[in-house]
Amino acid sequence: MDLSIVIVNFNTCQLLRECLTSIYASQGDFSFNVVVVDNCSTDNSAAMVEAEFPQTHLIVSKINGGFAYANNLGLRWAGFSDDGLPQPNAPRYALLLNPDTILPPTALIGMINFMDGCSAAGAAGPKLILPDGSLDLACRRSFPTPIVSFYRMIGLSKLFPRSRVFG
């Protein structure tokens, strides 16, 4: 298995439907599976996944333990142990994907090719594009340091969003 995709869902039925549709429309020569962890949704998300995407593994969590808890449930199902190390049945890569994501058809094979071609990379984060085609500036958040927190607190990051120093 090349890739396991873990999606944490909480009451985002329509967004999840669109996300899964885009995943299964992916192009490229790679193997993947998808696990959706439903965090106690009340909008029939789990029923939608079962009915419309039977190839998707669905975990209906008994508690809403939060985002990290649900991701860990999905990663365990995919073959990663509690210490994060892959087990023999684990895929080569894992992707944590939000249900409000629509993937371009070649996004997954592009990420796999990048990871295959860059042995020094331990993780990758794709560029996030808004529906209007513009860059989602939230995707380039800086590393949290005291000075970055200071810039955000006094508003310099909003005043100069394209600045490499303040943005």
User: Residue 13's domain is classified under what CATH number?
Assistant: 3.90.550.10
Is 68 inside any structural domain?
Answer: yes
pLDDT value, residue 83? 82
Residues 140-160 have a mean pLDDT of: 77
61: domain range? Answer: 3-117
- Report pLDDT digits (tens) over 154-164: 888 788 877 77
Tokens of 110: 């592009």
Residue carrying structure tokens 């087990």: 87
Lowest-pLDDT range of 23-32, 44-53, 72-81, 123-132: 123-132
Q: What is the DSSP letter of 140?
A: G
Pair (51, 29) in one structural domain: yes
Least confident of 38-42, 102-106, 144-148: 144-148
Pairwise pLDDT comparison (126 vs 67), residue with the higher score: 67
pLDDT tens digits, one per residue of 71-104: 999 999 999 988 877 888 899 999 999 999 999 9
Give all strands of the β-sheet with 57-60 in edge-to-edge order: 57-60, 32-38, 3-9, 93-97
- For the cut 70, the answer to whether the pLDDT of residue 142 exceeds it is no
pLDDT of 167 higher than 70: no
| List of residues 6+ apart from 25 with CB closer than 8 A | 105
CB distance 122 to 94 below 8 Å: no
Q: Give the number of domains in the chain.
A: 2
